[in-house]
Amino acid sequence: MTLMSFEKRWAHAGLSAIYPERAHGVRVTFDHVDASLDETMLVVPWRSGMGLRIAIWMVALSPIWLLMRLGTIASVRAVDRQRALGRLISHRNYFVRQLALLFKAFGALWVFRDVKLREAVLRRGERLITLKRKDAGHAA
Partner 1 sequence: MPRDEETESGVKARYADESYPVDSWVDGETVTNDIDESFDFVVVGTGAAGAVAAHTLTCAGFSVAMVEEGPWIKTREVGEDVYGVFKRGMRDGATQAIEGRAFMPLLQGRAVGGSTLVNSAIAWRTPADVLHDWSKDFGLGDTLSEEALAPHFDALERDLSVKSVDDDVLGENNASLLVEADKRAIQANAIKRYEKGCRGEARCLTGCPHGAKQGMNVSYVPWSLAKGARLFSSCRVDKVIVENGRAIGVLATTTHVFRARATRKRVHLRARHGVFVAASTIQTPNVLRRSGLRSRDIGEHFQAHPGIACGGVMSSPVHMEFGASQGAESTHFRKTDRFKLETISMPPELCAARMPGIGTELMDKLDRYPNVAVWAVQLRAEAKGTVRKGWGGRDVVNLTLTKNDLTRARTALGLMARMMFDHGAEEIWPGVYGLPSVMTSADQVALIDDAPLDPRAYSFVATHLFGASRMGPDPRSSVVGLDFATHEAKNLFVVDSSVFPTNLGVNPQHSIMAIARCAAERVAANAKRSAVA
Contacts to partner 1 from residues 28-47, by CB under 8 A: 28, 36, 39-40, 42-47
Q: What contacts 85, CB < 8 A, 6 or more positions away?
A: 14, 17, 18, 59, 62, 100
Distance between CA atoms of residues 22 and 50, nearest Å = 31
Closest CA to 26 of 129, 104, 118, 126: 118
- For the CB of residue 45, give the shortest distance to partner 1 in the complex, in Å: 5
Among 1, 6, 65, 109, binds partner 1 (CB under 8 A): 109
**Between 4 and 105, whose beta carbon lies closer to partner 1?**
105
Stretch that binds partner 1, among 5-13, 54-62, 63-71, 81-89 (CB under 8 A): 81-89
For the chain, report the end-to-end CA distance as a whole number of angstroms.
63
Strands (E), the chain: 22-23, 26-27
* Nearer CB in complex with partner 1: 65/118: 118
Q: Which of 98, 116, 132, 133 binds partner 1 (CB under 8 A)?
A: 98
Greatest pairwise CA separation for the chain in angstroms? 67
Q: Which residues bind partner 1 (CB under 8 A)?
A: 17-20, 23-26, 28, 36, 39-40, 42-48, 51, 82, 85-86, 89-90, 94, 97-98, 101, 104-105, 108-113, 118, 121-124, 126-127, 130
